[in-house]
Amino acid sequence: MRPAPPDTAAGAVAAEPPAGLLTWVAGADHKVTSLRTAGAALIFFVLSGAIALVMRSELAQPGLQVVSDGTYNELFTLHGSGMIYLVITPLALALGAYFVPLQVGAPEIAWARLALSGFWIYVLGGATMFAGFLTDQGSGRNGWAPTYPLSGDHWTPGIGMDMWVLGTSMAVIGMFLLGVCVLATALRERTPGMTLLRMPPFTWSMVATCLMVVTSFPVLIGAMGLLEWDRHVSPVFDAAGGPALFQHLFWFYGHPVVYVMFFPFVGAVAEIVATFSRRRFFGYSLFVVSMLLFAALSMSVWAHHMFTTGQVENRYYSLTSHALIVPAGIEYFDLIATMVGGAILFRTPMLFAIGFILQFLIGGLTGIVVASPPIDYHVHDSFFVVGHFHYTLFAGSMFGFFAAAYYWFPKETGVRLREGLGKAHFWLLVVGTNVTFFPMFFLGFDGMQRRIADYPSSSGFGDLNLLSTIGAFLIAVAVAIFLVNLWVSLRNRDPGGDDPWEGQTLEWATSSPPPRFNFRGLPAITSFAPLLDRREGAARRKGEVAA
Q: Which of residues 510-539 bind other proteins (CB under 8 A)?
A: 516-517, 536
| Number of residues counted as binding other proteins (CB under 8 A) | 152
Indicate the helix (H) or strand (E) that contains 174.
helix 159-188
**Judged by CB under 8 A, does residue 112 bind other proteins?**
yes
Compute and round to an integer the Cα radius of gyration of the chain. Answer: 23
- Residue 143 CB, shortest distance to other proteins, in Å, is 6
Strand partners, 2: 522
Binding mask 58-77 for other proteins (x = CB under 8 A): -----------xx--x----
157 touching other proteins, by CB under 8 A = no
Q: Is 282 in the site for other proteins (CB under 8 A)?
A: yes
Site map (CB under 8 A) of other proteins, residues 75-104, x = contact: ------------------------------
Is residue 392 at the binding interface for other proteins, with CB under 8 A as the rule?
A: no
Residues 478/422, Cβ–Cβ less than 8 Å: no
Q: Alpha carbon 471 to chain centroid distance? A: 22
Query: What minimum distance in Å lies between the beta carbon of 432 and other proteins?
Result: 20
- What b-and-e string marks burial along 532-546, b requiring 16 or more CB atoms within 10 Å of the CB? bbeeeeeeeeeeeee
Q: Looking at 97-105, 363-371, 467-475, 492-500, which segment touches other proteins (CB under 8 A)? A: 363-371
Taking CB under 8 A as the criterion, the residue among 49, 80, 243, 514 binding other proteins is 243
Question: What's the min distance (Å) between Cβ of 486 and other proteins?
Answer: 25
Closest by Cα among 500, 519, 503, 538 to 193: 519
Query: Is residue 218 within the footprint of other proteins (CB under 8 A)?
Result: yes
Q: At what angle do helices 263-276 and 284-298 cross, to 10 degrees?
A: 160
Q: Which stretch binds other proteins (CB under 8 A): 286-294, 411-419, 486-494, 503-511?
A: 286-294
User: Which residue, 33 or 489, is less far from other proteins as judged by CB?
Assistant: 33
* Pairwise CA distance, residues 256 & 263, whole Å: 10
Is residue 292 within the footprint of other proteins (CB under 8 A)?
Answer: yes
Give the residue, chosen from 41, 83, 87, 183, that forms a contact with other proteins under the rule CB under 8 A: 183
d(CA 390, CA 440): 10
Contact 531, 509 (CB under 8 A): yes
Tell me if 269 sits within 8 A of 403, measured CB to CB: yes
For position 488 contacting other proteins by CB under 8 A, the verdict is no
Of 47, 84, 172, 249, the one binding other proteins by CB under 8 A: 249
Binding flag, residue 166, other proteins (CB under 8 A): yes
How far, in Å, CA of 351 to CA of 331, rounded? 18
CB of 50 or CB of 452, closer to other proteins: 452
Out of 43, 66, 226, 245, the only residue in the binding site for other proteins (CB under 8 A) is: 245
In 3D, which of 33, 30, 79 has the Cα closest to residue 52?
Answer: 79
Least distance (Å) from other proteins to the CB of residue 304? Answer: 12
Among 264-272, 351-359, 422-430, 470-478, the segment contacting other proteins (CB under 8 A): 351-359
Residues 9-28 vs other proteins: string with x where CB under 8 A? xxx----------xx-xxxx
Q: Which is nearer to other proteins, 113 or 542 (CB)?
A: 113
Query: Is residue 447 involved in binding other proteins (CB under 8 A)?
Result: yes
What's the min distance (Å) between Cβ of 374 and other proteins?
4
543 binds other proteins (CB under 8 A): no
- Give the integer Cα–Cα distance in Å for 75 and 342: 46
CA distance 294 to 326: 8
Segment interacting with other proteins (CB under 8 A) among 262-270, 311-319, 477-485, 503-511: 311-319
Q: Would you say the C-alpha torsion 233, 239, 243, 247 has a positive or negative sign?
A: negative
Distance CA 103, CA 170 (A): 29
427 touches other proteins (CB under 8 A): no
Per the CB < 8 A criterion, the answer to whether 367 and 259 are in contact is no
Q: Least distance (Å) from other proteins to the CB of residue 488?
A: 27
Q: Taking CB under 8 A as the rule, does residue 120 contact other proteins?
A: yes
Taking the C-alpha atoms of residue 219 and residue 46, their distance in angstroms, rounded to an integer, is 29
Task: Pick the binder of other proteins from 348, 382, 436, 489 (CB under 8 A).
Answer: 382
Which of 146, 176, 163, 156 shows the shortest CA–CA distance to 80? 146
Question: How far is it, in rounded angstroms, from Cα 159 to Cα 140?
Answer: 9
